[in-house]
Amino acid sequence: MIVDKKVNVQLLVTFPKGLIRDIENYWHENHLKSRSEAIRELVVKGLREFKHESYENY
C-alpha cells in the first residue's frame, strides 16, 4: 500500500492481545476494509467523545 506522506504518517503501535481481539471484532462486525481503518475509526470516535468536536477530516 502506498502512503501519501504529505497527508499521512505511519506509526508503529503496540497493543495488548486482548485489545487486538476487540479491534478485530469491531473490524469484522462493521465490515471495514482493514484493521487500520478500524483503528482509525475507533480513535476518531474516542476523540469525538473526549473533545466533543468533529474529526471527520482526518
What does the buried/exposed string (b/e) look like for 22-56 if buried means 16 or more CB atoms within 10 Å of the residue's CB?
A: ebeebbeeeeeeeeeebbebeeeeeeeeeeeeeee
The whole model's pTM is what? Answer: 0.79
For the chain, what are the domain ranges? 17-50
* Per-residue confidence band for 57, with pLDDT thresholds at 50, 70 and 90: low
Residue 51's pLDDT band, with cuts at 50, 70 and 90, is confident
Cα–Cα separations (whole angstroms), residue 36 to 22, 43, 51, 52: 13, 11, 22, 23
User: In the structure grid, which three cell numbers stand for residue 17, read together?
Assistant: 492481545
pLDDT tens digits, residue range 3-18? 888 999 999 999 999 9
